[in-house]
Amino acid sequence: MAAADGETVALRTEVAALRLRVLELQRENQRLAQIASTCTCGCKEDTVPPSPVASANLYGCDQEVHKGKPHECTSSVHDCNGSVGGHSDVPKIRRNRANRTGHQVGTVSHCQKRLIALKIMYFGQRFYGFASEAQTEPTIESEIFKALERARLLVSSRKDSCYSRCGRTDKGVSATGQVISLYLRSNMKDAGGNTLDEGSEIDYVRVLNKSLPRDIRVIGWCPVAADFLARFSCLGREYKYLFWKGDLDTSKMQKAASKFIGEHDFRNFCKMDATNVSNYKRRITDFDISACDQRSNDDELWAMTIKGSAFLWHQVRCMVAVLFLIGQGLESPFVVESLLDITKSPRKPQYTMAPELPLILRSCLFDKVSFMCSSGASQALIEHFKDEYHQYMLQAAIFYEALSCLSIPEPNSFESHQKKRNHIPLISRQTEPSYEERTAKVKAKSAVLS
């Protein structure tokens, strides 16, 4: 009986404590409500017409020519002249736990915004490509948006930020000149248009690089006009593919590479996507193969530099693969002409495309876009790249040390001769389905589903 009385007293004491806590919370709620009612922060919405432009490209750098009207954002503008970090008025953050990439989204909802183009460098070895649609992480894009959220630079969701990317590089591919555009928070009272005011604006390069992983860096930014889209405003792209010369006949490779220049149908030099792409004509403006003035293990580093207005999915790696076969003496330079003639070769022969690691999206060309970087941020970038370069050189030295412990056999000319004997010419190989066969299959499948 005494034990029951003791439990009753304890429960009554706990209930009394809970009542006191409820009263304290009610008083705190009233105090916060009073503060909120006296707040004078203005909130003026400026609705912008919805975008007529489709979502960002699905494959490669560019698949189809954009024929829509200028792209405009659908998010609203809020008056707030806050700066990133250290501002006394902490901006409100809207959290969205249903984000597809699995991390919380923090957006500053009471700030001025402006359309910004960012120039980005990344070393792609550990990433599953640039775009995050594949649902596999890490991707460069997912890391960039995590950094934007941590820095509180987003003024709306990714969907409403008018985000556009110039190119969608594949798994393992790197870039020194990738470009994206989107609306970001701004310190400018009148942040519209593409007015340059580096001194009073947020140092986007410095702020973002503090939040990005070491193998991704923003190297420049530029305010752009409201109709700017990183994908469709791009006038040209430049790729570079690095390789060791070895025994390759680079003169034959250059002779064959020159046949790519001009407008051609590249369906035999890409991964065909008949569902989304109907036009496989692309224009190559320059294709140069030259030495890089770097040597290692009695070999010389070379590079293929390819310039064009737009590229198909895996187009560069397919062109490089065929050129390597030519450089090895396994194919004639004239095989390029045969594969570009879709009347003679309507189906792509089966061959393995070149590895992804040596491929770099070197630059993207725009009209009246001049990327800038503050002196402090520029110096930090130089020190960062020097440090990364030294770290990778140390790793290379370790592998070279291991190599020096082995006895290297003499070159076997028989193996090279045997490889040529076993080689099946591209024109004689089994082929993939043609574009017409692929589209017929897609239509038949759609008819069954309907």
120: β partners: 178, 218
Query: pLDDT tens across 198-222, in order?
Result: 568 999 999 999 999 999 999 999 9
Q: For 49-58, 146-155, 171-180, 225-234, which range has the lowest pLDDT when averaged over its residues?
A: 49-58
How much is the pLDDT for 76?
37
Q: Which residues, other chains included, contact 45 with Cβ-Cβ below 8 Å and sequence gap of 6+?
A: 76, 77, 78
Backbone angles phi, psi at 32, to 5 degrees: -65, -35
pLDDT of residue 21 exceeding 80, the answer is: no
How much is the pLDDT for 6?
56
Output b/e per residue, 273-297; b: 16+ Cβ within 10 A: bbeebeebebebeebebeeeeeeee
C-alpha–C-alpha distance, residues 189 and 191, integer Å: 6
User: Which residue, among 41, 112, 42, 102, has the nearest Cα to 75 in the 3D structure?
Assistant: 112
| pLDDT confidence tier of residue 7, bands split at 50, 70 and 90 | low
Q: What type of residue is 412?
A: N
How much is the pLDDT for 44?
38
| pLDDT confidence tier of residue 415, bands split at 50, 70 and 90 | low
C-alpha–C-alpha distance, residues 112 and 170, integer Å: 34
How much is the pLDDT for 54?
37
Q: How far, in Å, are 434, 443, 449 from residue 446 at the CA level? A: 19, 5, 5
Query: pLDDT tens across 306-363, in order?
Result: 999 999 999 999 999 999 999 999 999 999 999 999 999 999 999 999 999 999 999 9
Q: Are 53 and 74 in contact (CB under 8 A)?
A: no
pLDDT of residue 366 exceeding 70, the answer is: yes
Residues involved in catalysis:
170
Query: pLDDT tens across 36-93, in order?
Result: 655 544 443 343 333 433 333 333 344 333 333 344 444 433 334 334 433 333 344 4
C-alpha–C-alpha distance, residues 113 and 182, integer Å: 10
Q: For the chain, what percent of residues have pLDDT higher than 90? A: 58
Query: pLDDT tens across 88-146, in order?
Result: 333 444 444 444 444 444 555 567 899 999 999 999 999 999 998 766 889 999 999 99
The two beta strands, 262-265 and 93-96, are unpaired
pLDDT of residue 158 exceeding 70, the answer is: yes
Give the mean pLDDT of the chain.
81
Backbone angles phi, psi at 242, to 5 degrees: -90, 145
Q: Are 84 and 151 in contact (CB under 8 A)?
A: yes
pTM: 0.75
Query: pLDDT tens across 240-296, in order?
Result: 999 999 999 999 999 999 999 999 999 999 999 888 899 999 999 999 999 998 998
How much is the pLDDT for 410?
73
Q: Which residues, other chains included, contact 318 with Cβ-Cβ below 8 Å and sequence gap of 6+?
A: 268, 269, 270, 271, 351, 353, 354
pLDDT of residue 178 exceeding 70, the answer is: yes
Q: Is 443 helix (H, G, I), strand (E, B) or coil?
A: helix
Alpha helices (H) in 73-129, listed in sequence order: none
Q: What is the mean pLDDT of residues 174-190?
A: 92
| pLDDT confidence tier of residue 450, bands split at 50, 70 and 90 | confident
